[in-house]
Chain A
Amino acid sequence: MAKLTFVGGIHPYDGKELSKDKPIKAVLPKGDLVYPLSQHIGAPAKPIVAKGDHVLTGQMIAEAGGFVSAPIYATVSGTVKAIEPRRVVTGDNVMSIVVENDGLYEEVEYPAVKPLDEMSKEEIIERVKDAGVVGMGGAGFPTFIKLSPKEPEKIDYVIANCAECEPYLTSDYRRMIEEPEKLVEGLKVSLKLFDNARGILAVEDNKPDCVEILKKLTKDEPRISVKALKTKYPQGAERQLIYATTGRKINSSMLPADAGCVVNNVDTIVAIYHAVIEGKPLMNRIVTVTGDAIEDPRNFIVRIGTNYHELIEEAGGFKKDPVKIISGGPMMGFGIFDLDVPTTKTASALLCLTEDDVSKMEPSACINCGRCVEVCPGRVVPRLLADYAENYNEEAFLAHDGMECCECGCCSYVCPAKRPLTQTIKSMRKMQLAKKKK
């Protein structure tokens, strides 16, 4: 059988050996916790606490600020110290709730949960919504919206994105090794919403142990299958994943639901499990702290709001001076200039590198080698798009499907002339998207 995959893609050094065998360790925050009101796509959450209020672990401190939005919960007990703009990983200042940790971790009483069988579909969606679950793979799209498409009976596949194709990241891997039951249960919860759907656990084949564990766990689940995908970046990109597992294609203007699919990543599905089965809101996530500058690369379960400095400390600090620190993976993460930022719902990793390929390698003239075209999973011509973007030729940019770029970074990665193709195309896309909104 041909391997399940897509056309294009790259095979960068994956760096996963640094942290893949390190069990998930819980980190207790020491300093203040910072909760940006915008850590999801959509309207910022609205604070429902005021300066000086005492809050408990698991207490809602900001409610959804619109339909496409998500509430935010305190992850420690303590006092609201301020509601003020704070810096986040992207470098922006975002209005945030700052909570001083009293170190007691007093928890609220979580509402009683009904057994899954007795819950209606609406109740399940309501719980996911109230728990503030958003896409934790990086996008941060509110999960309840994904779970409530217009025609739920037309959903054929619920796909668990366990590809983890970004180099260095091992958080999903550890989750699958250590708590595979939660993943499978979470998937079963999602499947309850879609009567005609089958569940797919899509894992890259560089994680054969996960494939085996998940297969064993789901051997008596007729609706769930485990699919091993070819290891290739960006196998976990939503459109490529849907294509690899189902053969269906969607473009930038479509939602997975248009192809009868619902896709969620590992941590998100585990959050669904916590929300629906245990009645707990989204309060923590797994973060891989790694890179050749880190003394002891590790996977941590982190309370949202925890400062990045503390994560570095927990990983033994720096053994060499980092030149570049990235929030997320090296292909799509953000380069950050300040570690004084909080862990958010979408922060998958903290990668500290002692060498920066980007500043080390100077861009030169394009030699038309065509590698960008070969690797582009969006099947566009990055070389041309970058030219159009540089000359601000909107018409040609749009005519050559510039908006179909998924910003995965493959073109910049392979470019022998070291041209910043992704960045150039991305800027143009941002401008076009901003124009559209007007």
Chain B
Amino acid sequence: MSDLMKVSSNPHIRSKASTSSIMLAVVIALLPAAGFGIYNFGLDALILIVVTVLTTVLTEYIFEKLMGKKVTIGDYSAVVTGLLLALNLPPKAPWWIGVVGGVFAILVVKMLFGGLGQNFMNPALGARCFLLISFTSIMTNFDCDAYTGATPLAALKAGESVNIFNMVVGKTAGTIGETSMIAIVIGACFLILTGVIDLRIPGSYIVSFVIFISIFGGHGLDFSFISAHLAGGGLMLGAFFMATDYVTRPITMKGQYVYGILLGILTGIFRIFGASAEGVSYAIIIGNLLVPLIEKATLPKAFGKGGAKA
């Protein structure tokens, strides 16, 4: 028997799940969407994905090296950010868009606020909105070899008819990773089955969005209108992969429902009343800003509180 025993405070056992195993699961869950994007848009999409992911990982590595901090790229969170950002870029965007976005996401949105767990805004979405404002024409040009013209959502907004089957499968114009509802839902199912995410946020987000557009969309309970809104744009990717981002969503369970409903309403407002056809990214980053308030208002009641002697 060794002379030195390990002692520590209870509990003495830990679950197997770790930060890196969770982040890796998210990466795996994003692969169907990424794979479909590459299949749909070709080599350009692949190059953009690789460049963006390399940028986010390298930015984190270099920043931490320069600041003399522990290098944390092994937790895969930078990979998740890079991948998510790439999936939110138009397929024909030049490679440097991925670099600029990647550096902004990691350096400005994540590391300057203290690194993993401290950022108040989803880094990938923060960077996307930054790019959208700064390089609007590049970021809103979805023309590519396979498709020209408007995205289905823009077409829908202009009052044109859309092919819902193609939208569900993903054979439409759009950003690299958002077009295929099927690929995204496959990834989301994987995350739900592995317990990484649950349906609280995506569920309340999607349901409240559907209710909102049914009331204010001008089409009532029109099946094709609603399904086009669900399958089109970044809603699925946003609801399952970005609204559920641990760091930037409320930690309380009640708060997660509130947050989901808020996102549904904001997305509805932006899509129906806004100038642009899309509204998911802005809805989520505005939601991110309200998280501290939501958390504060939805703290759970301690077990037995309000009892005889409380």
Contact = CB atoms under 8 A, between A and B. Distances in A.
Given A13-B13, A239-B303, A258-B307, A335 B8 contact: yes
Contact of B308 (A254, A335, A359, A426): A254
Q: Top 5 closest A-B pairs, CB basis?
A: A409-B11, A251-B304, A423-B9, A401-B302, A335-B7
A381 interface: yes
Contacts of A374: 253
Interface centre among B5, B12, B21, B246 (most CB of A within 10 A): B12
Interface in B76-104: 77
A94 interface: no
Contacts of A359: 6, 8
A232 B53 CA distance: 41
Contacts of A412: 10-11, 14
A364 B72 contact: yes
Given A10-B15, A417-B18, 8 more contacts: A331-B13, A335-B8, A336-B7, A366-B117, A378-B302, A384-B251, A404-B305, A414-B15
A12 B16 CA distance: 10
A378 to B, nearest CB: 5
B117 to A, nearest CB: 4
Nearest to B2: A321
A405 to B, nearest CB: 9
Nearest to A6: B303
A334 B8 CA distance: 8
A23 interface: no
A114 interface: no
Contacts of B304: 239, 249-252, 254, 404
Contacts of A332: 10-11
B19 A325 contact: no
Contacts of B247: 367-368
Given A365-B115, A404-B302, A330 B17 contact: no
Contact of A337 (B5, B18, B117, B301): B5
B302 A379 contact: yes
24 contacts: A240-B303, A251-B302, A251-B305, A251-B309, A254-B308, A258-B308, A258-B309, A322-B5, A324-B7, A325-B5, A333-B12, A337-B4, A357-B12, A359-B6, A364-B75, A365-B116, A370-B252, A377-B303, A379-B303, A380-B300, A381-B252, A404-B302, A417-B18, A417-B117
Nearest to A338: B5
A249 B303 contact: yes
B1 interface: yes
B310 interface: yes
A359 B13 CA distance: 10
B10 A331 contact: yes
Contacts, number: 186
Contacts of A324: 5-8, 12
Nearest to A317: B1
A253 B309 contact: yes
A413 B18 CA distance: 11
B93 to A, nearest CB: 29
A365 B72 CA distance: 10
Contact of A417 (B19, B251, B256): B19
A422 B10 contact: yes
A318 B304 CA distance: 44
Interface string B287-306: 00000000000011111110
Contact of B253 (A239, A326, A373): A373
A358 interface: yes
B283 to A, nearest CB: 20
Contacts of B307: 249-251, 254, 258-259
Interface string A374-396: 10011111011000000000000
Nearest to A403: B302
Contacts of A321: 1-2
Contact of B5 (A252, A323, A370): A323
A358 B8 contact: yes
Given A367-B247, A368-B117, A412-B14, A336 B303 contact: no
A366 B117 CA distance: 6
A374 B117 CA distance: 18
B303 A251 contact: yes
Contacts of B246: 367-370
* Chain B at the A interface: SS class: loop
A180 interface: no
A29 B11 CA distance: 30
Interface in B220-255: 246-249, 251-253
Contact of A418 (B4, B14, B117, B299): B14
Contacts of A335: 5-10, 12
Contacts of A414: 15, 17
A407 B9 CA distance: 10
A249 B310 CA distance: 11
Contact of B11 (A331, A378, A380): A331
Interface string A406-432: 010110111111101011001000000
A97 B21 CA distance: 51
Contacts of A203: none
Contacts of B251: 368, 370, 373, 381, 383-384
A65 interface: no
B118 interface: yes
Interface string B91-133: 0000000000000000000000001111000000000000000
A418 B11 contact: no
Contacts of A334: 10
Contacts of A413: 11, 13-15
B22 interface: yes
Interface in B255-305: 256, 299-305
A400 interface: yes
B289 to A, nearest CB: 15
A365 B117 contact: yes
A356 interface: yes
A361 interface: yes
Nearest to A427: B9
A179 B306 CA distance: 40
Nearest to B197: A369
Interface in A1-31: 6, 10, 12-13
Interface in A217-268: 239-240, 243, 249-254, 258-259
Interface in A146-186: 167
